[in-house]
């Protein structure tokens, strides 16, 4: 069953994993060393991220390295973009109000 990307990033451990592999590709063991949990628990988080395609696996010899999938991260960015536009309008309106108040005090 394919995971929802927003459910995947809702978990702080999975967000931390994404941050770590955004810097460099890591093996499951290298990732597990970064957390105070079992290797199996980290593997479950990796599985969720992999199922929703936020990370990609690459076999190199006997090791599997996980990489960030920037194309899938763009889906999150596109969703957030609609809110950025709303925030920009609201901040611009606030700037106008503050400017008017400042001019009235003069």
Spatial CB neighbours of 53, under 8 Å, sequence gap ≥ 6: 5, 69, 72
Check if the beta carbon of residue 42 is closer than 8 Å to that of residue 32.
yes
pTM, two decimals, is 0.77
Question: pLDDT means per 10 residues in the chain (106 residues)?
Answer: 84 96 95 94 96 94 95 90 88 86 80
Residue 11 DSSP symbol = S
Encoded tokens for 70: 């920037």
* Cβ(46)–Cβ(29) below 8 Å: no
**52 in Cβ contact with 6 (< 8 Å):** no
Question: Domain residues of the chain, as ranges?
Answer: 1-68, 70-106
pLDDT of residue 2: 67
Assigned architecture for domain 1-68: Orthogonal Bundle (1.10)
Measured distance CA(23)–CA(68) in Å, rounded: 9
């Amino acid at each position: 069953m394919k995971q929802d990307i927003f459910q995947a990033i809702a978990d702080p451990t999975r967000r931390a994993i994404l941050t770590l592999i955004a810097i460099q590709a890591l093996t499951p063991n290298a990732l597990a060393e970064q957390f105070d949990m079992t290797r199996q628990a980290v593997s479950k988080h990796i599985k969720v991220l992999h199922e929703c395609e936020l990370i990609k696996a690459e076999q190199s010899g006997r090791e599997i390295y996980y990489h960030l999938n920037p194309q899938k991260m763009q889906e999150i960015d596109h969703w957030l973009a609609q809110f950025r536009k709303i925030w920009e309008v609201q901040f611009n309106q606030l700037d106008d109000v503050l400017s008017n108040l400042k001019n009235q005090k003069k």
